[in-house]
């Protein structure tokens, strides 16, 4: 492949074959570097050193930009933490004893100090191109106060959990901020999850209220969110948990396509309340609840390797500061820029980069309800052109799904407003990186490949657009406050060039504080394997220039289109099918999704393998988890390779799924004939 690059952009040489892409480095374009907050690697290094050697000074300066109703009492440590489980309980506090409110900071305080009341906070763009509207900071504050008052009138108070199961509409942001305003803890559940997944989260969070919408469009399809919520509430009841209120945003009647639909209200049950009715008579003013810097802000569930999702808990001041600073620095956000993040708000990316990070900076965001390819693959170009987007943040899977289309129709759109292009959620292959850089960015926009997790609250390893020379596929260097190390199997630090388990040595403001209701699980998952370090669960390499390259999960997790799933969770769903006796799920590579699920399934004795069982197994997974977990391939097997002690040898299954035949050492395999039967082309 011959690459057409500007000489200035490419310090690795021209006309590189694909295999050499990883060795190339792209300098930040001057038009970005000359105006950026951080303009060189020297600047970055100086700031980085301060952030890790004197975190109190570094974060103390950031804290000054925020409003605290009460400062920390004398004598309280700014930071207090223990990462060493052998020395006592794992903990991390920051600014404990100080009082603030995130909603007040991002709205009232920002409107006052930046004078941005009349600026647009959110441009909402519907799935159909003619559905769109915008809301200013002043209007957002009024909406948030009215809904916060409505929640209070229903009895919701500080510390109560409110589950949010909504499409990508402004009310999702309003609900999150309304909760924050009254000190309630929100837990947003991705709108693609099933009733069972939603019920599991409602029960685990002991939620009193669920806020949902009648439905949403995904392309041409309507997702019946209210129906799914009703089912989930019923499942909760059966398991002894009472949800007290189900608040429904009537979103569909606002859409142009609604005319074509059945037009019947879905607000009929005894728990149902119309969002619009309950805010109708509320006051526009709601005095914020001043909460402790370490009071919970939200819970966000993420897959756990044992199968049960973990309720990742984030607290107030540290998360607010980390979200604000990462957004500002990673995207080099300047007043007047328009930011578009395509991630669903149900993921951490949406929380930090669609809600808290941008609003803390007084930014304007585009909230797009639809899918990137609807009604055609040129949609991203039309959205960029329409709103003059400056920064776009998406996932490698979206980039790969766009790459297969020819470029010419896209060139008709003026996308010259773009400055910085971001990606997150999974490793980006160099070819996709380069397509993003050349086709979307026209080689003029730095790519920021940001590595982070639900647990970390914000990007941890990331380029800064004005400073870092980037290499396609590398997340480059640590963000301020992050001290990464690579460890070998025995926990020894890998110095210099090498590969190992990625861990973080020091606490940073945005890190999770616990697994909701299960601190022991928090300690076991992240701090037991390597005492003294936060364990990410990812592997990474460091090259001879010190660049970090994330190699992917090292536990039983996989990443489908940027969504983290645990193989145990999928296996548990498959095993619920009455005909299935054993199941093992392994990741396989997928050209668009990054990874996909390959499931080995053993049926009960005497049962015939047939296509309808495969369909039923797929349905089971969709019902239990959601469509994102649908297996790519179900391999009906007579038996699974096991060790003599009965442990499934997943290493071998991964190789079979990948079509490999060299299985390495199989001396611990109990029955070799199982292997032979598995590699015969499967009869399906
Ligand atoms: C993976 C998403 C490579 C990683 C923000 C991590 C990445 C998991 C990257 C967290 C990246 C995220 N390069 N891998 N830039 N970003 N990951 O919690 O395996 O949904 O542990 O947070 O995604 O997924 P989560």
pLDDT in tens, 364-380: 999 999 988 899 889 99
Atom 23 of ligand 1 has which residue's CA nearest to it? 425
Q: Quick one: pLDDT at residue 15?
A: 46
- List pocket residues of ligand 1, CB cut-off 6 Å: 302, 347-349, 424-427, 449-454, 475, 536-538, 550, 552-553, 559, 564
Chunked mean pLDDT (size 10), the chain, 684 residues: 38 46 82 96 97 97 98 94 96 97 98 97 95 97 98 98 97 98 98 94 97 90 94 97 97 84 78 97 98 98 82 98 98 98 95 98 97 90 97 93 75 93 92 92 96 98 97 96 96 95 97 98 97 96 95 85 86 90 92 93 83 91 93 92 79 91 80 84 46
Given this model, what pLDDT does residue 16 score? 47
**CA dihedral sign, ordered 16, 390, 422, 189:** negative
Q: Whole-prediction pTM value? A: 0.91
CA of 426 to the centre of ligand 1 (A): 5
Q: Which residues contact 513 (CB under 8 A, 6 or more apart)?
A: 91, 92, 294, 296, 313, 314, 315
Cis peptide before 375 (omega within 30 of 0): yes
Question: What pLDDT, on the 0 to 100 scale, is given for residue 516?
Answer: 98
Mutate to test the pocket of ligand 1, among 313, 433, 538, 566 (most ligand atoms within 8 A of CB): 538
Query: What number of CA atoms fall less than 13 Å from residue 175's CA on the CB side?
Result: 31
Residue 563 CA, ligand 1 centroid: distance in Å = 9
Residue of 559, 560, 567, 593 best suited for mutating to test ligand 1, as the one with most atoms within 8 Å of CB: 559
Ligand 1 centroid from CA 148, angstroms: 33
Closest protein CA for atom 11 of ligand 1:
451
Which atom belonging to ligand 1 lies closest to the Cα atom of 302? 18
* Ligand 1 centroid – CA 671 distance (Å): 37
457: nearest Cα among 556, 355, 546: 355
| Closest atom, ligand 1, to C-alpha of 427 | 3
- Identify which of 426, 454, 458 to mutate to test ligand 1's pocket (most ligand atoms within 8 A of the CB): 426
- Ligand 1 centre to CA of 294 (Å) is 25
Q: What percent of the chain has pLDDT over 90?
A: 76
Cβ 549 vs Cβ 484: under 8 Å: no
What whole-number distance in Å separates Cα of residue 430 and Cα of residue 475? 12
Ligand 1 atom closest to 563 (CA): 20
Give me the pLDDT at residue 21, please.
60
Cα distance between residue 457 and residue 508, in whole Å: 10
Q: Residue 226, CB half-sphere, CA atoms under 13 Å: how many?
A: 22
Question: What is the pLDDT at residue 5?
Answer: 39
Q: Which atom in ligand 1 lies closest to the alpha carbon of residue 552?
A: 19
CA of 425 to the centre of ligand 1 (A): 4
Q: How far is the CA of 677 from the centre of ligand 1 (A)?
A: 36
Pairing of strands 534-542, 291-292: unpaired
pLDDT at 267: 85
Q: How far is the centre of ligand 1, averaged over its atoms, from the C-alpha of 2 (Å)?
A: 31
Distance (angstroms) between ligand 1 centre and the Cα of 649 equals: 26
Radius of gyration of the chain (CA): 25
In ligand 1, the atom with minimum distance to the C-alpha of 553 is: 19
What pLDDT, on the 0 to 100 scale, is given for residue 629? Answer: 93
For residue 608, the 8-state DSSP code is P
Residue with the nearest Cα to atom 24 of ligand 1? 453
Q: Whose CA is nearest to atom 3 of ligand 1?
A: 427
The minimum-distance atom of ligand 1 relative to the CA of 536 is 21
Residue with the smallest CA separation from ligand 1 atom 15 is 451
Tokens at 391, concatenated? 């920064």
Nearest CA to ligand 1 atom 1: 426
Are 321 and 71 in contact, with CB atoms under 8 Å apart? no
d(CA 412, CA 408): 7
Residue 427: its pLDDT value, please? 87
Separation of CA 566 and ligand 1 centre (Å)? 14
Complex-level ipTM beyond the 0.90 threshold: yes
């Amino acid at each position: 492949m011959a690459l057409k690059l500007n000489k200035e952009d490419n310090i690795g040489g021209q006309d590189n074959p694909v295999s050499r892409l990883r060795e190339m480095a792209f300098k930040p374009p001057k038009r970005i570097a000359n105006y950026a907050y951080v303009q060189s690697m020297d600047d970055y290094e100086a700031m980085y050193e301060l952030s890790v050697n004197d975190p109190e000074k570094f974060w103390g300066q950031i804290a000054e930009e925020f409003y605290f109703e009460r400062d920390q009492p004398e004598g309280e440590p700014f930071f207090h933490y223990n990462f060493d489980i052998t020395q006592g309980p794992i903990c991390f506090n920051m600014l404990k004893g100080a009082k603030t409110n995130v909603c007040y900071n991002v709205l009232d305080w920002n409107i006052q100090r930046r004078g941005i009341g009349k600026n647009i906070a959110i441009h909402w763009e519907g799935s159909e191109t003619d559905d769109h509207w915008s809301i200013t900071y002043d209007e957002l504050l009024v909406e948030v106060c009215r809904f916060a008052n409505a929640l209070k009138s229903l009895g919701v108070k500080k510390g109560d959990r409110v589950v949010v199961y909504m499409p990508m509409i402004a009310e999702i942001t309003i609900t999150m901020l309304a909760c924050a305003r009254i000190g309630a803890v929100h837990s947003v559940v991705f709108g693609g999850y099933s009733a069972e997944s939603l019920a599991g989260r409602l029960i685990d969070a002991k939620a009193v209220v669920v806020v949902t919408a009648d439905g949403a469009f995904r392309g041409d399809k309507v997702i019946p969110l209210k129906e799914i919520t009703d089912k989930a509430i019923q499942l909760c009841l059966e398991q002894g948990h009472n949800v007290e209120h189900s608040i429904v945003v009537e979103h569909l009647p606002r859409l142009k396509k609604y005319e074509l639909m059945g037009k019947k209200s879905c607000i009929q049950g005894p728990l149902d309340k119309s969002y619009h009715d309950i805010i109708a008579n509320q006051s526009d003013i709601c005095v914020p609840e001043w909460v402790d810097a370490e009071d919970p802000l939200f819970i966000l569930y993420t897959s756990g390797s044992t199968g049960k999702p973990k309720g990742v808990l984030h607290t107030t001041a540290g998360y607010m500061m980390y979200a604000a600073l990462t957004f500002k620095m990673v995207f080099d956000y300047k007043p007047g820029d328009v930011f578009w993040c395509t991630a669903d708000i149900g993921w951490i990316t949406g929380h930090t980069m669609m809600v808290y990070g941008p609003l803390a900076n007084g930014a304007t965001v585009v909230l797009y309800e639809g899918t990137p390819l609807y009604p055609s693959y040129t949609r991203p170009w039309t959205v960029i052109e329409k709103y003059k987007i400056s920064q776009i943040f998406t996932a490698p899977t979206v980039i790969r799904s766009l790459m297969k289309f020819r470029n010419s129709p896209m060139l008709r759109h003026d996308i010259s407003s773009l400055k910085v292009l971001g990606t997150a959620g999974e490793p980006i292959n160099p070819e996709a990186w380069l397509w993003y850089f050349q086709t979307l960015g026209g080689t003029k926009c730095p790519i920021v490949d940001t590595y982070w997790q639900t647990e970390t609250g914000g990007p941890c390893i990331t380029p800064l657009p004005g400073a870092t020379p980037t290499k396609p596929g590398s997340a480059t260097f640590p963000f301020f406050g992050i001290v990464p190390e690579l460890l070998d199997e025995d926990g020894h630090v890998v110095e210099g060039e090498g590969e190992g388990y990625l861990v973080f040595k020091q606490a940073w403001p945005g890190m999770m504080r616990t697994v909701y209701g299960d601190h022991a699980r928090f300690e076991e998952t992240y701090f037991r394997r390597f005492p003294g370090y936060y364990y990410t669960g990812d592997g990474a390499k460091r090259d001879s220039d010190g660049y970090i390259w994330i190699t992917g999960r090292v536990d039983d997790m996989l990443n489908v289109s940027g969504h983290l799933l645990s193989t145990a969770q999928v296996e548990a769903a498959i095993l619920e099918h009455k005909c299935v006796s054993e199941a093992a799920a392994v990741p396989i590579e997928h050209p668009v999704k990054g990874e996909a699920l390959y499931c080995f399934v053993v049926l009960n004795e005497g049962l015939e393998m047939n296509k309808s069982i495969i369909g039923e197994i797929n349905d089971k997974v969709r019902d239990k988890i959601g469509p994102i977990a649908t297996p790519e391939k179900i391999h009906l097997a007579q038996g699974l390779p096991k060790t003599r002690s009965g442990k499934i040898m997943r290493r071998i299954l991964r190789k079979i799924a990948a079509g490999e035949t060299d299985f390495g050492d199989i001396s611990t395999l109990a029955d070799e004939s199982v292997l032979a039967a598995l590699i015969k082309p499967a009869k399906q």
